[in-house]
Amino acid sequence: MTQEGRLRIGIMGGTFDPIHMGHLILAECAYEQYHLDGILFLPSGNPPHKRERTDGASDEERLAMVSLAISGNPHFILENDEMEHEGYSYTYATLERLKSRHPDTDYYFIIGADSLQSFDTWRRPDIICKYCSLLAAVRDESPMEDLRRQAEKLSDQFGAKIFFLDTPNIDISSTDLRGRCRLNLSLRYYVPEPVRKYIEEKGIYKKVPAAKDDHYGKI
Ligand code: ATP
Ligand code: MG
């Protein structure tokens, strides 16, 4: 998969609003299963597909939460490249910058099943595929068959190099966690403890009242 002497770095990109155990387990599985040298956590600056976010944390808060979540793991590294750039952040442009700074590194972009399914709607998938391999994980019980079919399609269309991760299906999403916060439900065990405390102290995700169809906790 790669040449001798080159660094193998995983990239865990996301909005991380907030970062949760699903992201962390995914990154750790990728690190172990593909013998990576480290994982960059790359919080997206202003992701084009989430422009209308109104109930989220600020960029600084998302950055702080990622920092708290990964501290203590020596092979997890914060990469704030996208936050340093004005305007919308695009993965292809970030990869171009990383690759020009580190030409001797092979990058592995870690991606959940939902993102793999919508990958062809991302800006310049061809450039992304040129600069990195994709490590894909199941999510929401998505059938492996569908993932393999999508992987084949992306490989024909963009020359994507896609490898699969063997991960448990972790049924956690940031959207669900924001919903729990609005309803004063605990995030204990869904996010690392320092992240839970930070969210609580700052009152993040409580700024917007619970939506009528918010079902968390109404069991
Ligand atoms: P939101 O609900 O706000 O979209 P999210 O939980 O999907 O948040 P993101 O920051 O959007 O988190 O996700 C970043 C990446 O991590 C994406 O590739 C996504 O598919 C993947 N991911 C997030 N949560 C999981 C999970 N529980 N299992 C597998 N992949 C996940
Ligand atoms: Mg998402």
pLDDT tens track for 109-136:
999 999 999 999 999 999 999 999 999 9
Quick one: which ligand is closest to 62's CA?
1
* Phi, psi for 163 (deg, rounded to 5): -125, 155
Band (213; pLDDT cuts 50, 70, 90): low
126 Cβ closer than 6 Å to some ligand 1 atom: no
Per the model's pLDDT, the better-predicted residue between 214 and 87 turns out to be 87
Say yes or no to pLDDT of 34 above 50. yes
Per the model's pLDDT, the better-predicted residue between 115 and 212 turns out to be 115
* 191, 21 contact by CB (below 8 A): yes
| Structure confidence at residue 137 (pLDDT) | 94
Of the listed ranges 56-60, 76-80, 183-187, 192-196, the one predicted with least confidence: 56-60
Ligand 1 geometric centre to CA of 208 (Å): 21
Ligand 1 atom showing the smallest separation from residue 138 Cα: 29
pTM of the predicted model, to two decimals? 0.92
Quick one: which ligand is closest to 11's CA?
1
Ligand 1 atom showing the smallest separation from residue 22 Cα: 27
Name the residue at shortest CA distance from atom 21 of ligand 1: 112
Ligand 2 geometric centre to CA of 104 (Å): 30
Q: What is the Cα–Cα distance from 192 to 195, expressed in whole angstroms? A: 5
| Structure confidence at residue 85 (pLDDT) | 76
* Phi, psi for 44 (deg, rounded to 5): -70, 140
Quick one: which ligand is closest to 191's CA?
1
Of the listed ranges 13-17, 79-83, 100-104, the one predicted with least confidence: 79-83
* 181, 156 contact by CB (below 8 A): no
As a whole number, mean pLDDT of residues 70-95 equals 90
Ligand 2 geometric centre to CA of 114 (Å): 7
23 Cβ closer than 6 Å to some ligand 1 atom: yes
| Structure confidence at residue 141 (pLDDT) | 78
Ligand 1 geometric centre to CA of 8 (Å): 22
| Structure confidence at residue 139 (pLDDT) | 87
Name the residue at shortest CA distance from atom 15 of ligand 1: 14
Ligand 1 atom showing the smallest separation from residue 114 Cα: 20
Query: How many residues are there in the chain?
Result: 219
pLDDT digits (tens, 9 = 90+) for 38-52: 999 999 986 666 656
115 Cβ closer than 6 Å to some ligand 1 atom: yes
Sequence-ordered list of residues with C-beta below 8 angstroms from that of 113, at least 6 positions apart, any chain: 136, 137, 138, 139, 140, 142, 146, 147
Band (1; pLDDT cuts 50, 70, 90): very low
As a whole number, mean pLDDT of residues 186-215 equals 85
Mean pLDDT over the full length of the chain: 90
Say yes or no to pLDDT of 12 above 50. yes
Quick one: which ligand is closest to 15's CA?
1
